[in-house]
Amino acid sequence: MRHVVDDFRLGERAMRYSLFAPRLYNYCLSLGFRRAHMMPSRAFCSDESQGYPVILLMQHFGTFPFDHGRVGGKVATNRHGPHAHHGEDLVIIQASHVGYDPASGRFGVYQRQRTADCGFGDNCGKLCAVLHWYQKEYDYACRNILCGAIENKSAVYVDNHLLTPDRPEGLFLRLDRLIAGDLDEPLKILSTSKAFSAAPDLVARLPTDVWKQGRTPIGARLAADMFFFRRTPIEGPEGHDLLEAALAPVMPALVTSPNPALDAARYHTQVEFDRTYRSIQSAPEYRGKNLLFLAGLNIDVSPPEGMPFPLTKFVPWAAYFQPRNGAATLLEQDALVDALMRQSTSNADQISFDAAIRVMAEAEGVTLPL
């Protein structure tokens, strides 16, 4: 994933949501936002693991956030107008999300405690579902491209399915990086595959023993620059799968990554920030109002036994501040993290849910007309 998500760093930039939410609120105050006029909006996935961040945003901003989110954490940019009509000092928080199991150190999984076996499932389920088809195609290629030798010369055995150029979809090899010579002149024809002289660069790239131990599957040595995907667009109840379309250009890098779900979520956050940033600039509804748009990654750490919510961490990526009057500002990751870390984690304005619910429960009832 080099040059794709490496600039979106995690590590010490991750912060607990219980610290991020008050820092974000105080940062908004530092920009001149007024509590009574603030209207936050979240663009999160519909997964229940995203509920805890929403609760904390509500606690610190004092109002339930507007909903800018579609499945997978995609931003519904056609909701800018309604959001703008609900406040004067506006905040949008976009976050793709990925699960994390600290016991195994795995990204992309989250314990579903309400299921019969309390087992671990995909998280983000939508991102992982999109990845599965591509991972299956990649796994097939890894098993069915073999390295070996014919008459002491390095050879590559390729399954006939992978040599069919007129397939409507699937994984397609960049054969010039795998084989030497003409595709029509194989060294050997077998029942379900063909053998070719190995490309010199491939021979140099792979360990020497790979070519001397009989036929060895290429496995994870099938690198991202050796293939590409072709996929028929999926149409669902909401039309074309926009999340899959966003990830498609980097699918070879994702399926060869040690952490596909994590890198898919990081990449999607980057894409969504850029896309939404441009939509905000052309949205007339936000003119004359304060607006802060911030994007990052929600990491859903499965809660230990006895805890009702995940230990979610937020990793900031970038922010865009468009003031009511004055020049707009774009903050890259380091500047955004620094700006948030300078803020207090105390918020005297945060609401008490118990007190608020008690007041509402004890308020005089309203009779509705028949």
Distance from C-alpha of 292 to C-alpha of 92, rounded to nearest angstrom: 6
Segment 56-110, tens digit of pLDDT: 999 999 999 999 999 889 999 999 999 999 999 999 999 999 999 998 999 999 9
Residues 316-330, mean pLDDT to the nearest whole number: 95
* Residue 340: per-residue pLDDT: 98
Provide the greatest CA pair distance for the chain.
92
Alpha-carbon gap, residue 81 to 63, rounded angstroms: 19
**Nearest Cα to 245, choosing from 230, 233, 257?**
233
Quick check: helix, strand or coil at residue 97?
A: strand
The DSSP letter of residue 9 is -
Stretch (H or E) spanning 247: helix 242-247
Cβ count near 225 (within 10 Å)? 11
Calculate Rg over the CA atoms of the chain. Answer: 25
In this prediction, residue 190 carries a pLDDT of: 95
Please say if the pLDDT value at position 3 is more than 70.
no
CB 281 within 8 A of CB 164: no
Q: Is 82 helix (H, G, I), strand (E, B) or coil?
A: helix
Q: How far apart are CA 91 and CA 299, in angstroms?
A: 21
Instruction: Give the per-residue pLDDT at 216.
Output: 94
Backbone CA torsion sign across 325, 94, 264, 74: negative
Q: Is the pLDDT of residue 27 over 90?
A: yes
Position 239 pLDDT exceeds 70 = no
Given a contact cutoff of 8 angstroms between Cβ atoms, the answer to whether 290 and 157 are in contact is no
Using alpha carbons, select from 85, 87, 51 the residue that is nearest to residue 69.
51
Q: CB–CB of 80/285 below 8 Å?
A: yes
Predicted confidence band of residue 161 (pLDDT cuts 50, 70, 90): very high
Span 218-229, pLDDT tens digits: 999 999 999 999
CA–CA distance, 69 with 83 (Å, rounded to integer): 12
Tell me the C-alpha to C-alpha distance, in Å, between residue 156 and each of 10, 141, 146, 186. 39, 12, 6, 10
pLDDT for position 344: 97
pLDDT of residue 6: 85
Helix (H) or strand (E) holding 202: helix 200-205
Give Cβ neighbours of residue 280 (< 8 Å, ≥ 6 apart): 80, 92, 286, 291, 293, 320, 322
The two tokens of residue 240 are 């074309």
Orientation angle between helical segments 17-30 and 333-341, nearest 10 degrees: 90
Helix, strand or coil, per DSSP, at residue 44: coil
Using CA atoms, how far apart are residues 85 and 300, in angstroms rounded to an integer?
Answer: 32
> 198-214, pLDDT tens digit by residue?
999 999 999 999 998 78
Q: How far apart are CA 251 and CA 134, in angstroms?
A: 7
In the DSSP assignment, the letter for residue 248 is: G
CA distance 334 to 339: 9
Q: Note the pLDDT of residue 335.
A: 98
